[in-house]
Amino acid sequence: MPANFKKIVQEIPAHVSHLFDKGRVADYIPALACIPADKFGFSLLTATGDRFETGDCQERFSIQSISKVFTLSLAMGYAKEELWSRVGREPSGSKFNSLVQLEYEKGKPRNPFINAGSIVVCDVLVSHLKNPRQALLDYMRVLSGSFDIDFDEVVAKSEAETGFINKALANFLKGNGNLENDVEEVLDLYFHQCSIAISCHELASASLHLANHGNSNTLKESVLTPSQVKRVNSLMLTCGLYDAVGEFAFRVGLPAKSGVGGGIIGILPGEYSVAVWSPGLDPSGNSLAGGAALEYLTTITSKSVF
């Protein structure tokens, strides 16, 4: 880790602030439409426990699709190898909620980070857990070390009321035999996972096990095995940024997962986890300033997975 790491992180807002008003907030989810576009938070946590932060890093926001990393991690402990008979491991190359692709694939989602794939992951959790919503919440609280993290019920309600395409995806999965439980029950978990409100500071902590061979700084035991960490990180690198994953890998060079709430988590294996939040999105649904911030980080530090 470079000696001037603190200085680099403090410089980041100045290098990306010109992008704050260039992106578009995810206004198709009404509860997200009112988030100020100039919000910016950044938190980096090293494997040795050093933390570097700037901006609105303590303010909580809706993590949306970043939650898919954590539901996948939780489900891998239950479904094990059987999960991959129901969900693929390839980049989609299509929009994250594409019905056309799901039909083409005969009801098997291309990967667990597109919406259809994450709905199948939620189905696994509903099958194995008595109270999957609470189990996921407890998982996030333990990983982050913040035990007041909760669902944003306003966001969850807004998603449920406007999530017609997600409902179509779930029903198509059910019609093709790839959903075991009641559609509404599975979607309730899916909409709630997306509504989890968490800060960059907490998200960097929750993600650290992915940079530290499965070991968390908040737990004495491993969260995932090294093999499972390898799989989650590889899926983030190849599938984590919707249909712009190749461009992100080219520019940034980190396994990462974004959400339309404006957040992105990134992992440099063996070194750090990082979380950034800026609500303005590019046309692919990824944070415009957030992506630029991570590109600046890996360029100035000369550290990426490549």
Where in the sequence numbering do the catalytic residues fall? 65, 68, 190, 242, 260
Beginning with the edge strand found earlier in the chain, give each strand of the sheet holding 51-55 in spatial order. Answer: 51-55, 41-46, 272-277, 263-268, 256-258
- 150 Cβ partners below 8 Å, 6+ apart? 137, 196, 197
- 34 Cβ partners below 8 Å, 6+ apart? none
> E-assigned strands of 72-176?
150-151
> Cβ of 164: how many Cβ atoms within 10 Å?
8
Query: Rounded to the nearest 5°, which phi and psi values hold at 42?
Result: -150, 130
- The DSSP secondary-structure symbol of 210 reads G
Which long-range contacts link 230-234 to residues 24+ away (Cβ below 8 Å)?
231/76, 232/69, 232/72, 232/73, 232/76, 233/267, 233/269
Residue indicated by tokens 């980041």: 12
